[in-house]
Each structure stands twice: as structure tokens, then as C-alpha cells.
Amino acid sequence: MKRYFITGLLIWAPLGITLWVLSFILGMMDQSIMLLPVAWQPRALVGFNIPGVGALITLLIVFITGLLTANFIGQRLVRWWEALLHRIPVVRSIYQSVKQISDTVFSPSGQAFRQAVLVQYPRQGSWTIGFLTGTPGGEIAKHLGNDMVSLYVPTTPNPTSGFFLMVPKADVVELEMSVEDALKYLISMGVVTPTAPKATTAIELPDADTYVGD
């Protein structure tokens, strides 16, 4: 009896969570329907709301925005808009920070979160998975030197929170697994084990006396 219940739970739990996440995302995107005049909204036209219309409008707005800003005139408009935002004191700080993060993470040429690594954290002999986000720069690089890397170490099972570390490159072991497989491994708390690459070579771990932590 217990075995059958657990088997059924393993079938329905991932499906239920997936549907819940999709429903939440579509619900947020559906809010864009409020941008339409009341007379053009589905409730006014057909007498009831149609789920998904707002999500389609959101996708259409994003696509058209990308299409328009891909040409010279669109880029000029974006620069004008950013220059306007930079003149507003509070908005300027928030916009610049968010733009730098989004450009780094979502840019096709960016290197953020392109490589999964192993690092000793939070103590010697305790290993976890992190993601390369770049190298320290500016004043920080002057104090730490050039042979350092920046890492994001996510928490489990919620990878949206975590820790930012700057560690010696020699203390980091680069992994061949994809970022997606590494995230699955973290979210599942080690239950979903990534498959090993076909051509495997022995990975050299740093010495036990080199680690990240207090």
C-alpha cells in the first residue's frame, strides 16, 4: 500500500509542481492585458476572460521591442531613454544596477553562469557546486591579485539565493557537466545525479589544505 502511494506521488508531484510554476508565470504575464483599453479586453468583447491572452501580448511586446531596437533608429531611442532615466537620482541607481546584471547574465557573449565548478565551502574537505561569474576587477583586483575568480554558490533547494565568493583559481575544479545538469543536481539535493561524460579523465582536486571558508 505504502509503495503504491509513493509511486503515485512520484508521478504526480513533478507534474503538479510544473503546472503550478507555469500557472504562476502565465498569471504574471497575463497582467499585461490591463494595458489594453477596456473596450478591447476579452471580457468586454466576448463576456468573459480568456486565459493566456495577456501572456501572448507580453511575448508580442518583447518581440516587437527587440525587433525595433535592432536597427539604428531603435538604438538611438534606447540611448535617449537611458539618458533620461540617468537624470532621475533614485531611478538611475536602480536602473544601472539591474541593467548591468541583466546584460551580464542574458547577453549571448557574456560568460556569467557558463561554467559549473567544484569548490571547498564552507570548510575544508566539504565540497559544493558553484558557477563562474567572472574575475574580480577594479580596486578589488588590486588587493587580491590577478589569479582569482568570482563564484556564485547557490543554496539548496532554492538556487535563487546563495553566496558570492572570490577565490584563487587554483582552488577551483572546472566541471564538464552543463549548467543545467549542475542546477538539477543542486535543486534535487544530490538525488538526481548527472551522467558522467563519455570520455572521462581523472579530475585533480586541490590539496586538502586549500579551501574556501573561515
pLDDT average, residue stretch 170-198: 84
pTM here is 0.55
* Residue 175, domain CATH: 2.30.30
Eight-state DSSP code of residue 64: H
Residues 157, 213, single domain; the answer is: yes
Same domain? 37 vs 84? no
Residues 6+ apart with CB under 8 A from 155: 161, 162, 163
Sheet holding 116-120, edge to edge: 162-168, 148-154, 127-134, 116-120, 173-174
Asked if 118 contacts 172 with a C-beta cutoff of 8 angstroms, the reply is yes
Q: How far apart are CA 34 and CA 29, in angstroms?
A: 11
Co-location of 54 and 78 in the same domain:
no
Residues 97 and 18 in one domain: no
Residues 130, 105, single domain; the answer is: no
Residues 153 and 98 in one domain: no
> Cβ(214)–Cβ(123) under 8 Å?
yes
Rounded CA separation 100/80 (Å)? 18
Task: Read off φ and ψ for residue 127, nearest 5 degrees.
Answer: -105, 145
- Higher-scoring residue by pLDDT: 153, 104: 153
Q: Which amino acid is at 93?
A: S
- The segment with the largest mean pLDDT, out of 69-73, 98-102, 107-111, 166-170, is 166-170
Whether residue 106 is predicted with pLDDT greater than 90 in this model: the reply is no
Last residue of a domain, one of 68, 91, 124: 68
Q: Which domain holds residue 89?
A: 74-110
The answer on pLDDT for 41 being more than 50 is yes
| 100 and 123 fall within a common domain | no
Tell me: pLDDT of 58 over 70.
yes
Based on the fold, state whether residues 116 and 211 are members of the same structural domain.
yes
